[in-house]
A and B are shown apart, each in its own frame.
Chain A
Amino acid sequence: MPGTIANTTLDRFQRWRRAKDTSARYLIGFFGLAVIGALTLMFVYLLSETLPMFQGASLEERAAYDAPGGADTGTIHLAVNRHREMAVRLTEDRRAVFFRPYSGEVVREQPLPIPDDVRVTSFSMAEPRTRLVAAGLDNGQVLAIEYEYNERFTPQGREYDPGLVYPLGDEDSALLDVDSEGRAIDVVGIQRGSSGVRVAAATEDGDLRLVNFEERTSMMTGETEVTRSAHDLPSLPGDATPTRILVDITGRNLMVGDDRGRLHFYDISTPRNARLVDSQRVVRGDDAEVTSLEYILGTVSIVVGGSDGSVAQYMLVRDEDNVNRITRVRDFPQHADAVTNTQPEYIRKGFATTDASGALAVHYPTSQRTLLQQTFSDRPLYRAYIDPRNRMLIAIDDAESWFVNDLSNPHPEVSFHVLWQKVWYEGRSGGDYVWQSSSATDEFEPKFSLVPLTLGTVKAAFYAMLFATPLAIMGAIYSAYFMSSRMRGLTKPCIELMEALPTVILGFLAGLWLAPFIEANLPAVASILILLPLAMLVMAFVWTRVLPEGVRRAIPAGWEAAILIPVILLVGWFAVFISPHLEIWMFNGDARQWLTDAGYTYDQRNALVIGIAMGFAVIPTIYSISEDAVFNVPRHLTQGSLALGATPWQTVVRVVLLTASPGIFSAVMIGFGRAVGETMIVLMATGNSPVVNFNIFEGMRTLSANIAVEMPETAVGGTHYRILFLAALVLFALTFTVNTIAEIVRQRLRNKYSTL
Chain B
Amino acid sequence: MKHWFQSGTPWIWLNAGAIAASLVMVFGLITMIAVNGLSFFWPSEVIEFEYQPAADSEPRGVMGEIARSETMTAQAAREAGFQVPEGQEIVVRHLIKRGNRDLDSRDFRWYLEDAMSERRTPRDAVVLERLQWGDFFGFIREYREDGETVAEGEAARTAFEQRIRETRDLVQQLERIERVEIGQVNHQMERVRLDRRGLERDTSLPEEQRAQRHQELDEEQAALDAEYAELESERNALREEVARYAIVLETADGQRTTLALSQIVNAWWPNDMSTAAKLRHYVGSFRDFMTGYPREANTEGGILPAIFGTVLMVILMSIVVTPFGVLAAIYLREYAKQGPLVRIIRISVNNLAGVPSIVFGVFGLGFFVYLVGGNIDQLFFQDALPSPTFGSPAIIWASLTLALLTLPVVIVSTEEGLTRIGSSVRHGSLSLGATKAETLWRLIVPLSAPAMMTGLILAVARAAGEVAPLMLVGVVKLAPNLPVDGTFPYLHLDRAFMHLGYHIYDVGFKSPNVEAGRPLVYATALILVLLIVVLNLTAISIRNHLREKYRAESD
Please give the residue numbers on chain A whose beta carbons come within 8 Å of chain B beta carbons, in ascending order.
17-18, 20-21, 24-25, 27-29, 31-36, 38-39, 41-42, 45-46, 49, 470-472, 474-475, 477-479, 482-483, 491, 493-498, 500-509, 511-513, 520, 532-533, 536-537, 539-541, 543-545, 560-565, 567-569, 572, 580-581, 583-584, 588-590, 592-593, 616, 619, 623, 647-650, 652-653, 670, 673-674, 676-680, 683-684, 704, 707-708, 711-712, 716, 724-725, 728, 731-732, 735-736, 738-740, 742-744, 747
Given contacts A35-B411, A539-B13, contact A731 B359 (CB under 8 A): yes
Contact of B14 with A474 in the complex, beta carbons under 8 Å: yes
Interface centre among B4, B14, B323, B353 (most CB of A within 10 A): B14
Residues of A close to B14: CB separation below 8 A: 474, 533, 536-537, 540
Residues of A close to B465: CB separation below 8 A: 500-505
Contact of A532 with B17 in the complex, beta carbons under 8 Å: yes
Residues of A close to B76: CB separation below 8 A: 520, 583, 589-590, 592
Contact of B351 with A537 in the complex, beta carbons under 8 Å: no
**Nearest B residue (CB) for A512:** B508
Residues of B close to A679: CB separation below 8 A: 356-358, 467-468
Interface centre among A17, A34, A511, A680 (most CB of B within 10 A): A680
Given contacts A736-B351, A743-B350, contact A482 B16 (CB under 8 A): yes
Complex interface: stretch among B99-107, B138-146, B325-333: B325-333
Given contacts A31-B331, A34-B324, contact A505 B33 (CB under 8 A): yes
How far is B16's CA from A543's CA once the two chains are assembled, in angstroms?
Answer: 13
How far is B8's CA from A477's CA once the two chains are assembled, in angstroms?
Answer: 14
A471, A563, A677: the one contacting B359 at CB < 8 Å is A677
Contact of A27 with B345 in the complex, beta carbons under 8 Å: no
Would you give 15 A-B contacts (Cβ < 8 Å), ordered by A?
A24-B440, A35-B352, A478-B12, A482-B12, A501-B465, A504-B505, A507-B505, A520-B70, A568-B20, A616-B29, A649-B7, A683-B468, A725-B366, A728-B358, A743-B347
B346, B404, B504: the one contacting A505 at CB < 8 Å is B504
Give the 5 A-B residue pairs with the shortest CB-CB distance, closest first: A677-B356, A649-B8, A502-B465, A32-B331, A589-B75
B78-127 interface (Cβ within 8 A of A)? 79, 89-90
Residues of A close to B13: CB separation below 8 A: 536-537, 539-540, 543, 560, 564
How far is B63's CA from A507's CA once the two chains are assembled, in angstroms?
Answer: 33
B363, CB-defined interface residue at 8 Å: yes
B496-537 interface (Cβ within 8 A of A)? 501-502, 504-505, 508-509, 514, 518, 521, 525, 528-529, 532-533, 536-537
Residues of A close to B9: CB separation below 8 A: 540, 544, 649
How far is B344's CA from A370's CA once the two chains are assembled, in angstroms?
Answer: 42
Residues of B close to A584: CB separation below 8 A: 73, 75, 89-90
Contact of B29 with A501 in the complex, beta carbons under 8 Å: yes
How far is B352's CA from A744's CA once the two chains are assembled, in angstroms?
Answer: 15
Contact of A25 with B328 in the complex, beta carbons under 8 Å: no
**Nearest B residue (CB) for A516:** B70
Given contacts A32-B335, A502-B528, A649-B12, contact A24 B471 (CB under 8 A): no
Residues of A close to B350: CB separation below 8 A: 739-740, 742-743
Interface centre among B7, B18, B536 (most CB of A within 10 A): B18
Given contacts A46-B362, A520-B70, A738-B354, contact A509 B32 (CB under 8 A): yes
Contact of B437 with A502 in the complex, beta carbons under 8 Å: no
- Given A736-B351, A739-B355, A740-B347, list of 8 further CB < 8 A pairs? A28-B335, A31-B324, A494-B27, A500-B465, A568-B24, A648-B8, A680-B468, A731-B355
Given contacts A482-B16, A561-B23, contact A677 B435 (CB under 8 A): no
B464, CB-defined interface residue at 8 Å: yes
Residues of A close to B335: CB separation below 8 A: 25, 28-29, 32
Shortest B365–chain A CB gap in Å is 7
Shortest A564–chain B CB gap in Å is 4
Query: Interface 1/0s, chain B 337-352, versus A by CB < 8 A?
Result: 0000001111111111
B367, CB-defined interface residue at 8 Å: yes
A17, A491, A505, A507: the one contacting B23 at CB < 8 Å is A491
B7, B73, B348: the one contacting A36 at CB < 8 Å is B348
Residues of B close to A653: CB separation below 8 A: 8
Given contacts A36-B345, A560-B16, contact A704 B356 (CB under 8 A): yes
How far is B366's CA from A34's CA once the two chains are assembled, in angstroms?
Answer: 20
How far is B20's CA from A569's CA once the two chains are assembled, in angstroms?
Answer: 10
Shortest A202–chain B CB gap in Å is 52
Contact of A31 with B327 in the complex, beta carbons under 8 Å: yes
B444-497 interface (Cβ within 8 A of A)? 458, 461-462, 464-468, 471-472
A20, A33, A507: the one contacting B435 at CB < 8 Å is A20
Contact of A28 with B330 in the complex, beta carbons under 8 Å: yes
**Nearest A residue (CB) for B363:** A42
Contact of B17 with A568 in the complex, beta carbons under 8 Å: yes
Contact of A20 with B407 in the complex, beta carbons under 8 Å: no
Interface centre among A502, A505, A565 (most CB of B within 10 A): A505
Given contacts A32-B335, A589-B89, A590-B73, contact A24 B436 (CB under 8 A): yes
Interface centre among B16, B30, B345 (most CB of A within 10 A): B16
Shortest A184–chain B CB gap in Å is 55
Contact of B355 with A648 in the complex, beta carbons under 8 Å: no
B15, CB-defined interface residue at 8 Å: yes
Residues of A close to B360: CB separation below 8 A: 42
Shortest A517–chain B CB gap in Å is 9
Interface centre among B19, B356, B528 (most CB of A within 10 A): B19
Contact of A497 with B355 in the complex, beta carbons under 8 Å: no
How far is B512's CA from A99's CA once the two chains are assembled, in angstroms?
Answer: 54
Residues of A close to B536: CB separation below 8 A: 493, 496-497, 500
Shortest A575–chain B CB gap in Å is 13
How far is B502's CA from A638's CA once the two chains are assembled, in angstroms?
Answer: 49
A471, A505, A648: the one contacting B528 at CB < 8 Å is A505
**Nearest B residue (CB) for A42:** B363
B35, CB-defined interface residue at 8 Å: no
Contact of A533 with B23 in the complex, beta carbons under 8 Å: no
Shortest A199–chain B CB gap in Å is 44
B72, CB-defined interface residue at 8 Å: yes
Contact of A471 with B362 in the complex, beta carbons under 8 Å: no
How far is B351's CA from A740's CA once the two chains are assembled, in angstroms?
Answer: 7
Given contacts A35-B349, A36-B348, A508-B508, contact A478 B324 (CB under 8 A): no
B133, CB-defined interface residue at 8 Å: no
Given contacts A503-B467, A512-B514, A680-B468, contact A27 B501 (CB under 8 A): no
How far is B465's CA from A588's CA once the two chains are assembled, in angstroms?
Answer: 43
Residues of B close to A46: CB separation below 8 A: 359, 362-363, 366
Shortest A248–chain B CB gap in Å is 39
Shortest B506–chain A CB gap in Å is 10
Shortest A538–chain B CB gap in Å is 10
Residues of B close to A507: CB separation below 8 A: 505
B381, CB-defined interface residue at 8 Å: no
B370, CB-defined interface residue at 8 Å: yes
Contact of A684 with B19 in the complex, beta carbons under 8 Å: no
Contact of B16 with A35 in the complex, beta carbons under 8 Å: no
B54, CB-defined interface residue at 8 Å: no
How far is B11's CA from A470's CA once the two chains are assembled, in angstroms?
Answer: 13
A20, A41, A564: the one contacting B20 at CB < 8 Å is A564
B428, CB-defined interface residue at 8 Å: no
B211, CB-defined interface residue at 8 Å: no
**Nearest B residue (CB) for A479:** B19
Given contacts A36-B345, A584-B89, contact A474 B18 (CB under 8 A): yes
Shortest B477–chain A CB gap in Å is 11
**Nearest B residue (CB) for A711:** B472
Contact of A29 with B331 in the complex, beta carbons under 8 Å: yes
**Nearest A residue (CB) for B366:** A49
B205, CB-defined interface residue at 8 Å: no
Residues of A close to B15: CB separation below 8 A: 474-475, 477-478, 482
Residues of B close to A563: CB separation below 8 A: 16
**Nearest B residue (CB) for A589:** B75
Contact of B19 with A589 in the complex, beta carbons under 8 Å: no
Shortest A245–chain B CB gap in Å is 46
Shortest A465–chain B CB gap in Å is 15
